[in-house]
A and B are shown apart, each in its own frame.
Chain A
């Protein structure tokens, strides 16, 4: 098929803005891209065209953000805090400093105690089901449970979890970017941390790169988590003046160089120059 893809905007030339286009036209095209990302992603999350249409209509009438994704994720956040406690409180770790295998029920250093501390509104069996579905734990004989991996809470198993998680991530990223724009306009440089590295690698090496990055990212996040925990409010008064801070890291892969904003030819020339040096 010749010409543009269905619904695709006229091509914007490399370097930002086509000479013939006004800034407003480009902005509109970017907005179309943004909406497309959301619309097509929602389709992949399983929403029908009718549901997406209805949601878009409702959203256009709103003047402030609805609060849906946060409460959906609240149990997962509590579960994350439970796992962190299990891996960091001296009561729950073994001689190696690793999470101990715990009796599921009972008083003292048991899973029941942890469940009551972090998910007291849920019955123990429900917490157990939740943790078995979404964390790296295994049930052991004699009613015991072991945390065999890291403190990750995997949301893939729940119906709304992945979408809610995506919304939180996009919202956090958008808020940080908007805040930084505001700071820039005021001539201030103390914005929120926002960094990105981008490169091109052979596709077959992606898995290997992930293996290399995984422990580094994991350790960095654990370290950030320790910093947050040290500053956690310890009184109601402190809590009133508190703010939620998140540090997110992700790795993405894009085979469409144009979409990624990369000119591979330039990169190849640079690599060739470096090889000659």
Chain B
């Protein structure tokens, strides 16, 4: 289990990889004179229309995804989704361009509130497990959605967050925060390339220490720890939490000031933490 110092890197790297696919489209736009804002509006319309086609249908009724759900998946307000669906392709794109405004992803806002608002975090500063329905303490998933994505149905937001793997629905209708960024699953070229990059970093550090011990890089590890499956079940979340806290503290401590701010040549460094297991 390897953890990058900055989880936002994953999103950035994926977006960067995707940008290569956009290059032929941009070439055409440049040729025929479509500007970036026009293209963005078209992209939004296409995004919404595609989301209606691709998002899973309701398991029982077989109905297509709701406007709210598409809105959350696309990061577009549901009134905008309705307008796009009603107006259709190009008309909608034009209108969107004319009324362009900055919209935030509802899912991201809900997750951000869950992580940072003391009403929804534990005394240890971590997201609380939240019961779905409102309660006396006003600490429920419905309260969270009401505060950070007003006007959206809690059930719809929950479906979207579960689909992305951000949350888990436990027994007794309790929702557990998993991660702000969905974990990359499957043997895809991006994931394999990411794993290879991490292996390379670890290898470089280990060999640097052998080849140039006078310029050794940090490498520390625990001794072997023998655990029963029960103990492992208890220890795993502790290790994960401690490692995350440690890495976040490092990021906060060394995040500022940036060397690049003063025009000094910067070196990129990172600290990775991983656990291993001999089965």
Is the Cβ of B233 less than 8 Å from the Cβ of A97?
A: yes
Q: A90-B233, A212-B252 are in contact. Are A146 and B174 (CB under 8 A)?
A: yes
Determine the chain A residues whose CB is within 8 A of the CB of B174 once the complex forms: 101, 140, 146, 148
Q: How far is the CA of A98 from the CA of B172 in the complex (A)?
A: 14
Q: A90-B230, A146-B172, A150-B124 are in contact. Are A97 and B237 (CB under 8 A)?
A: yes
Question: Once A and B bind, how many residue pairs between them come within 8 Å at the CB atom?
Answer: 95
Q: Which of B231-258 contact A (CB under 8 A)?
A: 231, 233-238, 241-242, 244-245, 248-249, 252
CB distance from A230 to the nearest CB of B (A): 13
Is the Cβ of A152 less than 8 Å from the Cβ of B237?
A: no
CB distance from A265 to the nearest CB of B (A): 22
Is the Cβ of B123 less than 8 Å from the Cβ of A216?
A: no
Would you call A218 an interface residue if the criterion is a C-beta within 8 Å of the partner chain's C-beta atoms? Answer: yes
- Which residue from chain B places its CB closest to the CB of A136 in the assembled complex? B122
Determine the chain B residues whose CB is within 8 A of the CB of A214 once the complex forms: 121, 123-125
Is the Cβ of B241 less than 8 Å from the Cβ of A219?
A: yes
CB distance from A141 to the nearest CB of B (A): 7
Determine the chain A residues whose CB is within 8 A of the CB of B43 once the complex forms: none
Q: Mark A210-254, 1 if CB is under 8 A from B, else 0.
A: 011011101100110000000000000000000000000000000
Determine the chain A residues whose CB is within 8 A of the CB of B135 once the complex forms: 138
Is the Cβ of A101 less than 8 Å from the Cβ of B172?
A: yes
Q: How far is the CA of A222 from the CA of B244 in the complex (A)?
A: 15
Would you call A93 an interface residue if the criterion is a C-beta within 8 Å of the partner chain's C-beta atoms? Answer: yes
Q: A90-B233, A93-B233, A215-B248 are in contact. Are A223 and B242 (CB under 8 A)?
A: yes
Is the Cβ of B128 less than 8 Å from the Cβ of A136?
A: yes
Is the Cβ of B122 less than 8 Å from the Cβ of A149?
A: yes
- Which residue from chain B places its CB closest to the CB of A148 in the assembled complex? B129
Is the Cβ of A218 less than 8 Å from the Cβ of B123?
A: yes
Q: How far is the CA of A212 from the CA of B254 in the complex (A)?
A: 13
Is the Cβ of A218 less than 8 Å from the Cβ of B170?
A: no
Q: How far is the CA of A141 from the CA of B125 in the complex (A)?
A: 27
Is the Cβ of A140 less than 8 Å from the Cβ of B172?
A: yes
Dominant secondary structure of chain B at its interface with chain A:
helix
Is the Cβ of A218 less than 8 Å from the Cβ of B124?
A: yes
Q: How large is the interface on A (under 10, 10 to 19, 20 to 34, 35 or more residues)?
A: 20 to 34
Q: How far is the CA of A10 from the CA of B236 in the complex (A)?
A: 58
Q: A215-B125, A215-B245, A216-B245 are in contact. Are A140 and B237 (CB under 8 A)?
A: no
Q: A136-B123, A140-B174 are in contact. Are A219 and B242 (CB under 8 A)?
A: yes
Would you call B131 an interface residue if the criterion is a C-beta within 8 Å of the partner chain's C-beta atoms? Answer: yes
Determine the chain B residues whose CB is within 8 A of the CB of A223 once the complex forms: 242
Which of B123, B173, B233, B244 lies in contact with A152, CB distance below 8 A? B123
Would you call A144 an interface residue if the criterion is a C-beta within 8 Å of the partner chain's C-beta atoms? Answer: yes
Would you call A197 an interface residue if the criterion is a C-beta within 8 Å of the partner chain's C-beta atoms? Answer: no
Would you call A96 an interface residue if the criterion is a C-beta within 8 Å of the partner chain's C-beta atoms? Answer: yes
- Which residue from chain A places its CB closest to the CB of B231 in the assembled complex? A90
Would you call B6 an interface residue if the criterion is a C-beta within 8 Å of the partner chain's C-beta atoms? Answer: no
Determine the chain B residues whose CB is within 8 A of the CB of A97 once the complex forms: 233-238
Determine the chain A residues whose CB is within 8 A of the CB of B242 once the complex forms: 219, 223
Would you call A1 an interface residue if the criterion is a C-beta within 8 Å of the partner chain's C-beta atoms? Answer: no
Is the Cβ of A146 less than 8 Å from the Cβ of B237?
A: no
CB distance from B140 to the nearest CB of A (A): 8
Would you call A95 an interface residue if the criterion is a C-beta within 8 Å of the partner chain's C-beta atoms? Answer: yes
Q: A138-B135, A140-B172 are in contact. Are A211 and B123 (CB under 8 A)?
A: no
Determine the chain A residues whose CB is within 8 A of the CB of B235 once the complex forms: 97
Determine the chain A residues whose CB is within 8 A of the CB of B170 once the complex forms: 94, 101
Q: A97-B237, A146-B172, A223-B242 are in contact. Are A138 and B124 (CB under 8 A)?
A: no
Would you call B126 an interface residue if the criterion is a C-beta within 8 Å of the partner chain's C-beta atoms? Answer: yes
Q: A96-B237, A97-B236, A216-B245 are in contact. Are A149 and B131 (CB under 8 A)?
A: no
Determine the chain B residues whose CB is within 8 A of the CB of A138 once the complex forms: 131, 135, 137, 139
Q: Mark B107-148, 1 if CB is under 8 A from A, else 0.
A: 000000000100001111110111100010101000000000
Determine the chain B residues whose CB is within 8 A of the CB of A98 once the complex forms: 129, 176, 237
Would you call A88 an interface residue if the criterion is a C-beta within 8 Å of the partner chain's C-beta atoms? Answer: yes
Q: How far is the CA of A271 from the CA of B71 in the complex (A)?
A: 47
Is the Cβ of B172 less than 8 Å from the Cβ of A148?
A: no
Would you call B15 an interface residue if the criterion is a C-beta within 8 Å of the partner chain's C-beta atoms? Answer: no
Is the Cβ of A93 less than 8 Å from the Cβ of B234?
A: yes
Q: How far is the CA of A192 from the CA of B234 in the complex (A)?
A: 31
Determine the chain B residues whose CB is within 8 A of the CB of A94 once the complex forms: 170
Q: Mark A93-110, 1 if CB is under 8 A from B, else 0.
A: 111111001000000000
Is the Cβ of A90 less than 8 Å from the Cβ of B125?
A: no
Q: How far is the CA of A95 from the CA of B249 in the complex (A)?
A: 28
Q: How far is the CA of A141 from the CA of B173 in the complex (A)?
A: 9
**Can you list 10 A-B contacts (CB < 8 A)?**
A90-B231, A97-B234, A101-B170, A138-B135, A149-B123, A150-B124, A152-B122, A214-B121, A218-B124, A218-B125
Report the 8 A-B pairs with minimum CB-CB distance, sorted nearest first: A214-B125, A149-B122, A218-B124, A152-B123, A148-B129, A97-B237, A150-B124, A150-B122
Question: Can you name 13 extra interface pairs (CB under 8 A) apart from A101-B174, A136-B128, A215-B245?
Answer: A88-B234, A90-B230, A90-B231, A98-B176, A101-B171, A136-B123, A146-B131, A148-B130, A154-B123, A216-B245, A216-B249, A218-B124, A222-B124
